[in-house]
Amino acid sequence: MVAFNHTIVWSTDQKKGAAFLAEMLGRPAPVTFGRFDVVQLDNGVSLDFATAEGPVQMQHFAFLISEAEFDAAFARIKAQGLEYWADPMRKRAGEINHNDGGRGVYFPGPDGHLLEVITRPYGGG
């Protein structure tokens, strides 16, 4: 068996980055583990935020969520006045996508990471 367990998310301010993601996804507050601020997901995977000593390179993180969780996350995106896009190239601003019969949207994290929430896995419909 091979299962994804965790990844490090480099940030200019790990507490800010972890708190932002937890809030946007409706997750419990991050917990501290060693030098990391950890956001735990329902499938046992964690995102371990750490402060980088140099520039932070943009990464993409996609989260599969329920329709109700999408509604809540999308409301938080709009309430914070964040830009959002229907596509990863960020050409369809102010839109969501309906790929594979679900809904999806991309939005920026505090360090420029491109975050995505989807209700159906791509290729699943």
User: pLDDT for 55-98, tens place per residue?
Assistant: 999 999 999 999 999 999 999 999 999 999 999 999 999 999 99
Which tens digits make up the pLDDT trace of 21-66? 999 999 999 999 999 999 999 999 999 999 999 999 999 999 999 9
Query: 100 Cβ partners below 8 Å, 6+ apart?
Result: 120, 121, 122, 123, 124, 125
CATH superfamily of this structure's domain 6-118: 2,3-Dihydroxybiphenyl 1,2-Dioxygenase, domain 1 (3.10.180.10)
Q: Domain ranges in the chain?
A: 6-118
DSSP reduced 3-state for 79: helix
Q: Is the pTM of this model over 0.75?
A: yes
CA distance 110 to 62: 16
CA distance 37 to 46: 10
Q: Is the pLDDT of residue 125 over 70?
A: no
